[in-house]
Amino acid sequence: MRIAVTGSTGFIGKYLVPALKKSNHVVVEISRSKGIDICSWDDVKSIDHCDIIIHLAAKTFVPDSFLNPREFYQINNTATLNALELARLWRAKLIYMSSYLYGPPQYVPVDEKHPINPHNPYAQSKFISEELCKGYHRDFHVPVTVFRLFNLYGPGQAGSLIIPDILKQIETGKVILKDPRPKRDYIHIDDVVSVIAKTIEKRLEGFNLFNLGTGKSCSVEQLVSTLKEVSPKKFDIEFTNEYRQGEVLESVADIDLLKSVIRWDSPIELKSGLKTLF
């Protein structure tokens, strides 16, 4: 198939594009670094027809969304609108990478029926994009699959997320972290690519929404302890026990729906996944 990937040079895109090419798909990369701005309709409408659009492009760093909310809303929602309009014109399917939108959970594991509670501008922009997806499916019958991605990690991940931050600190010989308690569902990049590939093979119709995680959670304390086991470099660990107000103490995905529809049931165990970081 001919597949367009927005954000093709981002973290997921760098893994997904080669995997799609290896499966003999023709991949059209949509990225500013490739000369196409997903937020520019003039750029986007000149792209030749594709069968599927995988929409990954977004601004994602939550603290920045409080500093520059307008930029997050404008870029994330304009990008999604343009991707959906292309899908409508091409009669193509769209796969949209959303995010954790549940806020402090009322119960765990969190299933797709859990109430939505976007608790920052980034999450709110993702929720608005999900509503755009629903609207384009309702009004124009665009087939859409939405993934609510939990905590992604993998080799080469940059930024200020917890695992890249710990890896940088390991190089100094000492890791200093705040609260050891919060538990998160960490999913390896290879699993995300696998699920997307299986979704393409499944040829889903209609509107579909899935949690994308592993179904298991791990505390910060357990995470850094496991990293200490697998790291070739020795390091010390210190917790300052600073507690952030309103901290979500546990989030874990219920992935029963994903496993039943996509037939994906073998997520990478965290310890094995962490070994790939070194």
**Beta-carbon neighbour count of residue 217 at 10 Å?**
22
What is the rounded distance in angstroms from the CA atom of residue 36 to the CA atom of residue 28?
Answer: 10
pLDDT of 244 above 90: no
- How far is CA 176 from each of CA 88, 127, 145, 159, 241, rounded to the nearest angstrom? 49, 33, 39, 17, 10
Q: Higher confidence at residue 248 or residue 51?
A: 51
What is the rounded distance in angstroms from the CA atom of residue 273 to the CA atom of residue 191?
Answer: 10
% of the chain exceeding 90 in pLDDT: 95
What is the rounded distance in angstroms from the CA atom of residue 139 to the CA atom of residue 23?
Answer: 33
pLDDT in tens, 135-152: 999 999 999 999 999 999
Contact 43, 93 (CB under 8 A): no
Which domains are present in the chain?
2-154+186-213+252-264 (3.40.50.720)
pLDDT confidence of residue 248: 87
- For range 20-31, the mean pLDDT: 98
Q: Is the pTM of this model over 0.85?
A: yes
pLDDT in tens, 188-205: 999 999 999 999 999 999
Strands 183-184 and 218-219: antiparallel
